[in-house]
Copies of this chain bind each other. A is one copy, B any other.
């Protein structure tokens, strides 16, 4: 079931020249040995306006990822279930509505309700799972996430959420810098712009992470869960 290293959503925009230039990055992808789950910014705001095209929902709900968010909902739910059965520690990031003027990006935003930044109910943390509040794109910057991962004994991460070109990318680059082996789960990661989504996954896959398909990751986690029950 091993798919080709480049068999991903970016196939239709990456030409043969680029593929040749990036040849030296080819390697076998894998989930790390003691992974933790890092679920990035799965908050209500990303789903606002419902399962409709991004462009439409953004006219009313700025920052919503529309149908891209909704499409990822079921795979993400399944992935979280498999991760918990396998006993993996799960970490979430989100933010507070008001961060005293420090902003994650240059986007203009008005005053907002705190509930916009609550994790979407279907994907909500279980008791004992940690939610890290951040003020910048990376889940590591200005947060104690690194200390919690260390305490959990994690040597690798399974990362997903939104947006691919914002918080997922920034968090994954930092995780790589800290020395974690990273998997980014393609079907559970999304953005408002499909172009940025594809190119950022391409960049992450070649430089900082193993981008894997959700079925591959769930199969691996099911294996861990079986081993755990056998023991």
Contacts and interface: CB of A to CB of B under 8 A. Distances in A.
Interface residues of A, number: 65
Given A173-B173, A177-B142, A207-B166, A148 B102 contact: yes
B206 A106 contact: yes
B105 A207 contact: yes
Interface string A128-157: 001000111110011111111111010100
B24 A179 contact: no
Given A21-B192, A177-B136, A193-B21, A106 B27 contact: yes
A93 interface: no
A14 interface: yes
A224 interface: no
A219 B25 CA distance: 40
Interface of A: 13-15, 17-18, 20-22, 24-25, 27, 54-55, 58, 62, 99-102, 105-109, 130, 134-138, 141-151, 153, 155, 165-166, 169-170, 173-174, 176-180, 192-193, 195-196, 199-200, 202-203, 206-208
Given A13-B195, A25-B105, 5 more contacts: A24-B107, A24-B109, A105-B208, A146-B146, A150-B178
